Structure 1
Amino acid sequence: MRTLNNHKLKLGILDQSALMPGDTPTDAFRRTIELAKLGERWGYSRFWVSEHHDTPRLAGSSPEVLLGALGAHTSRIRIGSAGVLLPHYSPFKIAENFRVLEALYPGRIDLGIGRAPGGMPIASQALRYGRTKPSDEQLPDVLRDLGGFLADSLEPGHRFEGVRAAPFVETKPDIWLLGSSSFSAERASELGAAFSFAHFINGDGGHEAVKGYFDSYRPGPLGSEPRANVCVIAICADTDEEAERLALPVELALLLLEQGQFQRPFPTYEEALAYPYTEWDRMRIQVNRSRMLVGGPVSIREQMLNFAGDYGVEELIVVTFGADPAARLRSYELLAQTFELA
């Protein structure tokens, strides 16, 4: 376990452009842009947006497009994808999209790559439109091609030798592999990428994945130095009691997701209080609490420092869910104040 002090721990933000009851997608995107602007003001290290498909309660289906808007409304904070879902797309097209972003906002772009479907199987089929999904064994080669297109470094004799991803810029995005298991950690260490573990999705196995990444890392086509962070749900309020109240609908939301209720709106506090929980539900809620850090400023500071120290990382990416937009913003503001980010 590593000991971290307040000033050493960096915090970033993951935002999914969630629709609250009564929202339109426009409302969700406006909140995302506002959070990015505030996150920059408050001193967060980076702002990442996700990719989900055919999911009515999440508006963020195209991180590349959304990043263009976020860059126009910010000036310093790093912005990136968490992540572009590589199995659906051509690595050449991904390289072109992110070279456009790099040309617009040089030195600020993170290209986070995931391999999850991001939706139901039929949505994945629509995205690939007849193309075959790369197998896990093929993914390292696809990633090497992506790195080659971004750095103009395809190997001699490559079938696309001479093809360059436009625009032709001198800098390139930082490449992060995202994962909730050891698979992406191993690929990141083999290929030189940075690695982000999705603890907010899977609370098990992350410590081993991150340790293995650092132990096995070697420079490669996707990067030259080891860097890792961990994404976790964090809910902060002015008191521990208020934070626990805000966590109640998040607990129910995670439970409903496990049960396949993807279309259901994010629950309110009143709905969470009235929900007819079974014993199995309560057991799952206790398990899912390992994916969350909850408390007032003093409590959550200790939790987050211990959490980052146990993982051996100096940066956490925070995702804060909730049906109350004001309470959600307050959570991010309190975290920034607690860790003196600005």
Structure 2
Amino acid sequence: MVKLSVLEHGYMKEGFETRDILKEATELAQYTESLGYYRFWVSELHGVPVFSFSSPEVMVAHLASHTSRIRVGSGGIMIPHYSAYKVAENFRLLEGLYPGRIDLGIGRSTGGMHLANIALNEQRRMPEYSKQIDDLIGYLYDKIDKKHRFVGLKAIPQIDTVPELWLLGSSSASGKIAAKHGVPYSFAQFFGTHGEEAMYQYVSRFEPSVVTKTPKGMIALNVICADTEGEARELAASYELFTTAGDQIGALPSRKTALNYPYTVAQKAYMKSQAHLNIVGNPEQVKEKIIENIETYKVDEVMIVSPIHDFEARKRSFQLVAEMMKEEKFQNNE
């Protein structure tokens, strides 16, 4: 049975202020919860004005306090910037406040502008990613062994549940890392890299751990759905312009701006080359593509990214996806 989940980037939008975007993110979490979506994750990027937030742990706390059932988490914490111990403390506290509802997705991307990355790591050497994962598991599960450099150290608060740990990636290398450490693996298909090999490496090399005894995979897809294909194509024009000329636009543009933008020949060619990264269409067309990805990746969960400027149209997209997958007898909650 396949679960449906949500990934929120918090894109700034033409004509809107930051507070508007944060308010919409909160309303979207509540709305998708009512539709039966299983998780709601928020991403982390630094020093990029087009993103409305850069502290996923703060957003997780806020969103969890404004919902009641949906799991809320990071998609993800860019852990090379931080102490694994501090990340464990943050997410143990969140789990203590909202038991059974917190996810900790981690990644090794720098997640932002070069200058921001320098500022985040001023006078600090980037730690080894694999060691950080080991440390994080040790702190979360109280498995710091006697040979550890911080033997006896506990992550506070001491609680009887654990946030669900996921490793995020977009390459076969990340699949191998997730397998080695025995953690669930989420593949960012919307980045455009080929994930079949990554998921194969993850499943075939998986080593059971205290986190999970069997492989647990998820894919994240860009999905824009509307009642008609024509409407969906128009809605998708905003994101197509954003990814093609984002430096000039500075925010996710409106449908009107996107449809009237004077593309160069080179921009049109680039946009055409990237079209395959997005699932765009009416409910039947979108359903076909989602199921195709489920079967290709052999996963039991799909995380939906829906970069639509108009908020009501965005909510409608999530509604249509939930309804059509339910009709196909897929389960999107527990």
TM-score range, shorter chain: over 0.9
Structure 1 CA distance for aligned equivalents of residues 289 and 8 of structure 2: 21
Mapping for residues 111-190 of structure 1, pairs under 5 Å: 111-134=104-127, 138-190=128-180
Runs (5+) with no aligned partner, structure 1 = 1-7
Structure 1 CA distance for aligned equivalents of residues 273 and 168 of structure 2: 22
In structure 2, the residue matched to 1:3 is none
Structure 1 CA distance for aligned equivalents of residues 249 and 136 of structure 2: 33
Deviation at 1:164, TM superposition (A): 0.5
Residue type of the alignment partner of 1:149: Y
Q: Does 1:108 align with 2:101?
A: yes
Runs (5+) with no aligned partner, structure 2 = 327-331
Q: Does 1:60 align with 2:44?
A: no
Quick check: 90-99 or 152-161, which moved more? 152-161
Structure 2 CA distance for aligned equivalents of residues 256 and 175 of structure 1: 35
Mapping for residues 2-151 of structure 1, pairs under 5 Å: 8-134=1-127, 138-151=128-141
Which portions of structure 1, spanning 4 or more consecutive aligned residues, are displaced by more than 6 angstroms? none
Residue type of the alignment partner of 1:118: G
Which of 278, 287, 294 is the matching residue for 2:273?
Answer: 287
Paired residue secondary structure (1:214) = helix
Quick check: 316-325 or 284-293, which moved more? 284-293
Which of 320, 324, 330 is the matching residue for 1:338?
Answer: 324
* Contact 1:144–1:222 (CA under 8 A) maintained in structure 2: no
Structure 1 CA distance for aligned equivalents of residues 255 and 210 of structure 2: 47
Deviation at 1:222, TM superposition (A): 4.3
* Contact 2:234–2:259 (CA under 8 A) maintained in structure 1: no
Deviation at 1:248, TM superposition (A): 1.3
Which of 196, 215, 236 is the matching residue for 2:204?
Answer: 215
Deviation at 1:334, TM superposition (A): 1.2
Which of 319, 326, 337 is the matching residue for 2:305?
Answer: 319
Q: TM-score, normalised by structure 2?
A: 0.94
Deviation at 1:269, TM superposition (A): 2.1
* Contact 1:198–1:230 (CA under 8 A) maintained in structure 2: yes
Deviation at 1:70, TM superposition (A): 1.1
Deviation at 1:331, TM superposition (A): 0.6
* Contact 1:57–1:265 (CA under 8 A) maintained in structure 2: yes
Paired residue secondary structure (1:200) = helix
Deviation at 1:180, TM superposition (A): 1.2
Q: TM-score, normalised by structure 1?
A: 0.92
Deviation at 1:91, TM superposition (A): 0.1
Deviation at 1:54, TM superposition (A): 1.4
Structure 1 CA distance for aligned equivalents of residues 209 and 2 of structure 2: 27
Residue type of the alignment partner of 1:87: P
Structure 2 CA distance for aligned equivalents of residues 270 and 309 of structure 1: 36
Deviation at 1:338, TM superposition (A): 1.3
Paired residue secondary structure (1:18) = coil
* Contact 2:35–2:319 (CA under 8 A) maintained in structure 1: yes
In structure 1, the residue matched to 2:244 is 255
Residue type of the alignment partner of 2:130: P
